[in-house]
Amino acid sequence: MARSFSVRGDTRKPAYFRVSIDMSLFDTSTDNNTSGAVSPNGNYPTSEDPYITDLSSLATSTTRATTTALADRRERGLMRFEKMVQSLQTDTLIDILDLEIVEANGSAQATSLEFTISVESPDHINLTSTDGIPDGSTRALAGNVDTAGTNTRQNRMRVLAAIGINGNSSEVDDSSAVTYSELRHRFLPVTGESEMSSITVQNPDNYGEIYEAITVNEITTTSQISGGDDSTLALKTSQN
């Protein structure tokens, strides 16, 4: 059987995008399914997996939530983060790098999240679809987004992040509520023990506002730094 394949040199050249999410307007209530924002840190930190309390000193903590409701809120943030990462891999494989989030203690809800996306095969990013880009001039950063082929790679990453945070739904109806439940490892502050229990999550805001809260810039300059036999890629701050 005849087969074809590509040996283009740029096919596997990664692309990098810096994502910033302003979560200051997300629900901060204690026990609503909409609370918890988005966080890579769940409700059960350990010495092997602590959270950062100060970016300048990189101080960490393993202090846990003081109430069950606050522990559940923290876990909802992690559930949304996991959905977001899944959604970001819709078109191609990615890695998440350089996470920046500050949570003062085990009960706190962060107001911002930043990270870098390393896209393994940027040629596979879907630039034809404009699904999930809300109407409105302040949201349409790709020109005429209603015309196929006018999307940008940054916008596509922005859409996929928003879809994940929204519960893997791209419904742009601002009244839509997306709810799902998962069996999670849940900390019980009263006893200091833990259990497997179902936790329910709803989108932290309507889809349009989630999309608005996300900024994506493509990193256009990288430098290869050699360290003996190993090499690491340093990402500079030059962005589109």
Condensed to tens digits (0 to 9), the pLDDT of residues 198-232 reads: 999 999 998 888 988 999 999 987 665 545 444 44
Structure tokens at 183: 């069996």
The alpha helices in 89-125, defined as continuous H runs, are none
How far is Cα 13 from Cα 120, in angstroms, rounded to an integer? Answer: 7
Q: Does pLDDT of 139 surpass 50?
A: no
Q: What is the pTM of this model?
A: 0.83
Q: Mean pLDDT, the chain, as a whole number? A: 83
How far is Cα 119 from Cα 123, in angstroms, rounded to an integer? Answer: 9
Structure tokens at 36: 């918890």
Q: Does pLDDT of 167 surpass 50?
A: yes
Structure tokens at 230: 């190993």
Q: Quick one: 102 exposed, middle or buried, by C-beta within 10 A (0-12, 13-18, 19+)? A: middle
Closest-CA residue to 85 (of 138, 161, 140): 161
Residue given tokens 């003081």 in the structure block: 66
If you average pLDDT over residues 117-123, what whole number do you get? Answer: 93
Whole-Å CA distances, 101 to 39, 56, 109, 139: 8, 12, 10, 25
Contacts of 132 (CB under 8 A, 6+ apart): 159, 160, 162, 163, 170, 172, 207, 211
How far is Cα 42 from Cα 29, in angstroms, rounded to an integer? Answer: 17
The dihedral through the CA atoms of 37, 43, 47, 49 has a sign that is negative
Is-contact 218 16, C-beta < 8 A? yes
